[in-house]
Amino acid sequence: MSSLLSCGQAPSAPVQEVKMETPAVSKPVENITPTVDQQRRRAASEAICVAHNIPVYPNRNALFVAQEDSVTIRTKEEVVTRALALCFVELKSESADKTVLAAFEQQYQVMQFLTAAEKTFVLAEHPTPQDLANANWRAEGTHVMLWALGYVDSLSFPDAVCNVTADVDLISSFTATQFRDKAKLRSKKEILDQADLILRYDWACTSANLQQQGTPGNLNPEVVLERHVALNWLINYMNQAWDDVSPDT
């Protein structure tokens, strides 16, 4: 299949003229006694934060991802279909030629994997600018899914948007069967480690916003938010479906 980016997406990716609203700090204070794996994960994440001059959450008994033995990671099939759905939504946000979208649908049969909200968006003849901007940011979710499936080696520090062209070209280089078969879902530990780290990045961004301070560590708040949503979905945070995932901090 030839490259699907005939719609003209630039490598630097998501359109940013419509800013997404930063959520309020919304996760209730837990006041828990963390498990060994939660303490280890927090310590590793905070070391990374400190290295980037990002403040850390002061309460030692709150702000944790769930303990490892209580988490059920999404299945490989779920992650594969979510990657394809998010990629399709992002392509639509680029006002892709209908032949581009039709080619993607023919290749991956993706319509069956879309949520109700996604289906409404991709079928809309004239989406609003806000809908287009929100959908354009789904590229960051696609990138996280590709990482979770082993197609992306690592999640870089979230100070810049992902390379959308590279991600779409990667997906489109495979048939649907090849994309599923070659994917290797990362371990629960790897995914939880990233979920914990992005939770701390998002808390730092949200806290700075509430205090009307500059974003710490050159973090890109929109990238952080999108990764947080994607990683919370991967770890089944509160058993929420994709359209309902809350990036609580």
Residues 111 and 94 in one domain: yes
Looking at the chain, the whole-number percentage of residues with pLDDT higher than 70 is: 88
* 9 within domain boundaries: no
* 91 within domain boundaries: yes
Separation in Å, CA 171 to CA 108, 142, 174: 10, 10, 6
Q: Which of 11-25, 28-42, 74-88 has the lowest mean pLDDT?
A: 11-25
* 50 within domain boundaries: yes
Q: What is the pLDDT of residue 176?
A: 97
Does 170 have pLDDT greater than 60?
A: yes
Cβ-contact 150, 185 below 8 angstroms = yes
Residues 116 and 203 in one domain: no
**Domain termination residue (choose one: 182, 206, 234):** 182
Residues 176 and 209 in one domain: no
Residues 67 and 82 in one domain: no
Q: What is the pLDDT of residue 97?
A: 81
Residue 95's pLDDT band, with cuts at 50, 70 and 90, is confident
Q: What is the pLDDT of residue 31?
A: 86
Separation in Å, CA 100 to CA 91, 94, 96, 105: 8, 11, 6, 9
Residues 95 and 129 in one domain: yes
Q: What is the pLDDT of residue 10?
A: 38
Residues 93 and 193 in one domain: no
Task: Please state, in angstroms and rounded to a whole number, the distance separating the CA atoms of residues 205 and 187.
Answer: 27
Residues 169 and 233 in one domain: no
Q: Which of 36-45, 53-62, 95-104, 184-193 has the lowest mean pLDDT?
A: 95-104
H helix or E strand, kind and range, residue 205: helix 188-210
Task: Please state, in angstroms and rounded to a whole number, the distance separating the CA atoms of residues 226 and 138.
Answer: 7
**What is the reported pTM?**
0.89
Average of pLDDT values for 105-110?
Answer: 97
213: CB partners within 8 A, 6+ apart:
none
Angle at 38 between CA 23 and CA 56, to 5 degrees: 50
Query: How many domains, in total, are found in the chain?
Result: 2
Task: Please state, in angstroms and rounded to a whole number, the distance separating the CA atoms of residues 85 and 64.
Answer: 29
* 89 within domain boundaries: yes
Does 65 have pLDDT greater than 80?
A: yes
Q: Which of 165, 89, 96, 159 is nearest to 120 (CA)?
A: 89
Q: What is the pLDDT of residue 21?
A: 43
Range of the domain at 174: 74-182
Mean pLDDT of all residues belonging to the chain:
90
Task: Please state, in angstroms and rounded to a whole number, the distance separating the CA atoms of residues 124 and 134.
Answer: 14
At 9-31, the pLDDT tens digits run: 333 344 333 333 444 455 556 78
Task: Please state, in angstroms and rounded to a whole number, the distance separating the CA atoms of residues 248 and 5.
Answer: 33
* 92 within domain boundaries: yes
